[in-house]
A and B are shown apart, each in its own frame.
Chain A
Amino acid sequence: MNKQKSFLQSLSVAVALTMVAGSSSGVIAAEKKAKAKTAPLAITVSPYKGRPKENAKNIAAGKRIYDNACIYCHGTTGKGDGPVAFYLSRDTAPRPRDLTSGIFKFRSTGSGELPMDEDIFRTITRGVKGYMPGFQGLSVSDRWKVVYYVKSFNPDFKGGEFETIKMVGGPVQSNGVSINKGYKVYQKFKCWECHGGGGLGNGKKAPDLKDDWGFPLPPRDLSRLSSFKNGTAPEDMYRTIMAGFDGGAMPSYADFFEGEEKNVWHLINYIRSLSE
């Protein structure tokens, strides 16, 4: 009985947080402005201002925020086993991330690598479509402090080799020629085997795909741009294609597009055209 009550309390807090998170348009506008300035480097360089130092004091401050905002799903020890997690889509992916595992989907680093600080910041800011709320309601400084605390869950963040995916070129004008080129890339690089000939997520390999924890994780229906978990901008899609989603089945295509990155931008135009 007690458990039930505490769950309901947690849930109401979580709902309240979600609402708070969605209501800070001033901050979003400021970030958009900052982002526009540094767009070509958006993948490797943080477009966000006001980043505090990563030190013990700010990690402790991050923990206080985390304990208020994040434990309901991610748990007090970061294992993705908070009280709400128990009720969230128990038999299907994605589960709340086990932040101790070192496995992160949304990265601008190579397959199998830890994410950049900026990647974690972006996920906290935007949330994950359909799953995790965005936390623009927290100040930029507070979000960074949460990033630092989240990193403290896995000792590998303290050392090791990071390889970042470098964004080569930039979005190209979407027109018939580019979309047609993108369609050919989609065919040649066999995206259709999982995502389906029409991009509806119904390819021949779709039914058997699972995440690393054995939960069914079907490929994305590419005709629903607004549902893309890693973001909908061409730059976000570039990151997804090149880095893959660790923990899920989406592999990294970085090796195969090396030297012909322009094709990735055409592919992105084709995928985006499926939602029009």
Chain B
Amino acid sequence: MKIKNSIKWAGVASALLLASTASAYEQIDVTNGGTISGTISFKGALPANPALSITKDKETCGTGITADYYLGSGGGLQNVVVAIESIDKGKKFKKRAIIPFDNKKCMFVPHVVTAVKGQKLGINNSDPVLHNTHLYSGKKLKTMYNIALPLMNKVIKKPLRKLGPVVVKCDAHEWMLGYVYVSKHPYSTVTANNGSFSIGDVPAGNYKVKIWHEKLGEVSQDVTVAAGGTAKLNYSFSK
């Protein structure tokens, strides 16, 4: 369906090459690596999630749905991205991995997911209604893709080319909201329902680790990883 525009392609090849050598991530065999693990929590009771106004496709979307901004249990906060900010070489990852991203009952599943730049998002529609998955990237929220999903269960694969949080919306259902956090390396994850996370095979060293929540913002923490050791990283958001 699509072809590369070879004329423009050739013109910029050298520029791209320069850019990629400057910031490329090198995949190596990590031996005796360490682990960063811990819990991201929220001080006090979690803020209430607003009720969503479902105005159409109620037979598919249901009614009485609340947003999924603040989820968690036992003081832990779910859907927080934990990612090493900068690392030039480290463990291998599957460049060809497809990151599943579903439209189900008019919500994005998962709500927050991480990916490595160059991997593809596998966008699916599990609903019998029209969805469109509209990805925005950058501070200006520029459209990255706006893909129609008229038919059920056909996975559309789209490469993730921009770093940082990608906001995902659906114009057809204005309450739908999701995030894909794209890093240039595989040292990123999303907290579980109890707020816990673990990032393994980290080469020994000092790192800055970013902790990002869609509504609570982001902070950066210093972490020292010893060879074969486990570095604890706990952080508590508050309102």
A-side interface residues toward B, CB under 8 Å?
101-103, 110-112, 116, 158-166, 168, 188-191, 193-194, 204-205, 208-210, 212, 244, 246-247, 249-256, 258-259
CA distance A164 to B3 in the complex (A): 6
Q: By the criterion CB–CB under 8 Å, are A168 and B9 in contact? A: no
Given contacts A159-B16, A189-B151, contact A194 B172 (CB under 8 A): yes
Stretch at the interface among B96-104, B127-135, B224-232: B127-135
Residues of B with C-beta under 8 A to A193: 129-130, 172
From B5, B129, B133, B174, contact of A163 by CB (8 A): B5
Pick the residue among A158, A166, A250 that contacts B3 (CB under 8 A).
A166
Q: Is B4 within 8 A of A255, CB to CB?
A: no
A-B residue pair count with CB separations less than 8 angstroms: 114
Min Cβ gap B58→A in Å is 11
Contacts of B151 in A (CB 8 A): 188-189, 256
Using Cβ atoms and an 8 Å threshold, which residues of chain A touch B5? 116, 162-164
List the 3 closest A-B pairs by CB distance, nearest first: A249-B171, A190-B130, A251-B148
A204 to B12, CA, bound (A): 44
Complex alpha-carbon distance, A249 and B143, angstroms: 11
B55 at the interface (CB under 8 A from A): yes
B1-18 near A? 1/0 per residue, CB < 8 Å? 111110011011001100
The answer to whether B16 touches A166 (Cβ under 8 A) is no
Query: Is the beta-carbon distance between A251 and B1 smaller than 8 angstroms?
Result: no
Cα separation A193 to B136 with both chains bound (whole Å): 23
Q: Does B201 contact A (CB under 8 A)?
A: no
B95 at the interface (CB under 8 A from A): no
Known: A161-B4, A190-B130, A256-B154. A212 touches B143 (CB 8 A): yes
Q: Which residues of A contact B134 (CB under 8 A)?
A: 249, 251
Provide the residues of chain B in CB contact with A258, threshold 8 Å: 1
A249 to B140, CA, bound (A): 17
Chain B 113-149 interface 0/1 with A at a Cβ cutoff of 8 Å (1 = within): 0000000000000000110111110001111111111
Cβ–Cβ contact A256 & B148, under 8 A: yes
Contact A190 B55, beta carbon cutoff 8 Å: no
**B85 at interface (Cβ–Cβ under 8 A)?**
no
Give 11 new A-B contacts, CB below 8 A, not counting A160-B12, A189-B148, A252-B148.
Answer: A103-B142, A158-B12, A159-B15, A162-B8, A164-B5, A188-B151, A204-B57, A212-B141, A252-B146, A254-B2, A256-B156
Most A CB contacts (10 A, CB to CB) among B134, B143, B149 go to: B143
Within 8 Å by CB of B147, from A208, A247, A251, lies A251
Is B56 among interface residues, defined by CB-CB distance under 8 A? yes
Is the pair A111, B147 in contact by a Cβ cutoff of 8 Å? yes
Q: A209-B171, A258-B1 are in contact. Are A103 and B143 (CB under 8 A)?
A: yes
| Contact, CB under 8 Å: B9 / A161 | yes
Q: Are A249 and B12 in contact (CB under 8 A)?
A: no
Q: What are 28 sample pairs from A and B whose C-beta atoms fall under 8 A apart?
A: A101-B140, A103-B142, A111-B146, A112-B143, A112-B144, A159-B11, A159-B12, A160-B16, A162-B8, A162-B9, A165-B2, A166-B2, A189-B150, A190-B150, A193-B129, A193-B172, A205-B56, A209-B171, A246-B143, A246-B146, A247-B143, A249-B134, A249-B172, A251-B148, A251-B171, A252-B146, A254-B1, A255-B1
Q: Which residue of A lies closest to B141 (CB)?
A: A212
CB of B157 to closest CB in A, whole Å = 9
Evaluate contact between B2 and A249: CB separation under 8 angstroms.
no
The answer on a CB contact under 8 Å between B142 and A102 is: yes
Closest CB of chain B to A97's CB: distance in Å?
13
Shortest CB–CB separation between residue A79 and chain B, in angstroms? 12
From residue B132, how far is it (CB to closest CB) to chain A in Å?
4
Q: Mark B193-205, 1 if CB is under 8 A from A, else 0.
A: 0000000000000
B148 surroundings in chain A (CB, below 8 A): 189, 244, 251-253, 255-256
Question: Which residue on chain B has the smallest CB distance to residue A100?
Answer: B140
How far, in whole Å, are A161 and B3 apart by their CA atoms in the complex? 11
Q: Which residues of A contact B140 (CB under 8 A)?
A: 101
Residues of the A chain whose Cβ atoms lie less than 8 Å from the Cβ of B146: 111-112, 244, 246, 249-252
Most buried by A among B4, B16, B147: B147
Contacts of B16 in A (CB 8 A): 159-160
CB distance from A75 to the nearest CB of B (A): 17
| Contact in complex: B2, A256 (CB < 8 Å) | no
Known pairs A102-B142, A159-B12, A190-B129; A205 contacts B172 (CB<8 A):
yes
CB distance from A273 to the nearest CB of B (A): 21
Contact A110 B2 (CB under 8 A): yes
> Which residues from chain B contact A253 at a C-beta distance below 8 Å?
148, 150
Closest Cβ of chain A to B161, distance in Å, is 8
